[in-house]
Amino acid sequence: MSSDKPQSAVRKLLGGFSPKLVELTEDILFGDVWERPQLSKRDRSLITCAALVTAGKTEQMDFHFPNAIKNGVTQDELVEMITHLAFYVGWPNAMSAISRAKALFAAENAT
């Protein structure tokens, strides 16, 4: 890794433990898939967040909900997406996701 390139969050978290997974995450997922021009990063973020709600992957929401905001999705749009999905993917998934979103937005607004 180049010394002038900042160390990614995933590399800091898992680099010494799972270097290949970190490499695939950085090079393939974020280096290739997220950079494809056919969808905007905003759209990719909204799709990713919807997939996480659908699968009940609340731990991953800690990264992807704030990333969606950074990529142009509004807080209102995230809340509406979760509300909409409640009727398609299950009330418990939506309630878990909305609770996580509320906590993340509260922490963000407190800083």
CATH of the domain at 79: 1.20.1290.10
What's the number of domains the chain is made of?
2
Band the pLDDT of 2: cuts 50, 70, 90. Answer: very low
The pLDDT value recorded for residue 1 is 46
Residues 47 and 66 in one domain: yes
- Contact (Cβ atoms closer than 8 angstroms) between residue 86 and residue 105: no
Average pLDDT across the chain, whole number: 93
Nearest Cα neighbor of 26 from 14, 44, 38 is 14
Residues 16 and 44 in one domain: no
Residues 48 and 101 in one domain: yes
Residues 46 and 31 in one domain: no
Residues 80 and 104 in one domain: yes
Residues 55 and 84 in one domain: yes
Cβ count within 10 A of residue 90 = 14
> What would the mean pLDDT of 102-106 be, rounded to a whole number?
94
> What would the mean pLDDT of 32-36 be, rounded to a whole number?
96
Structural domain boundaries, residue 20? 1-36
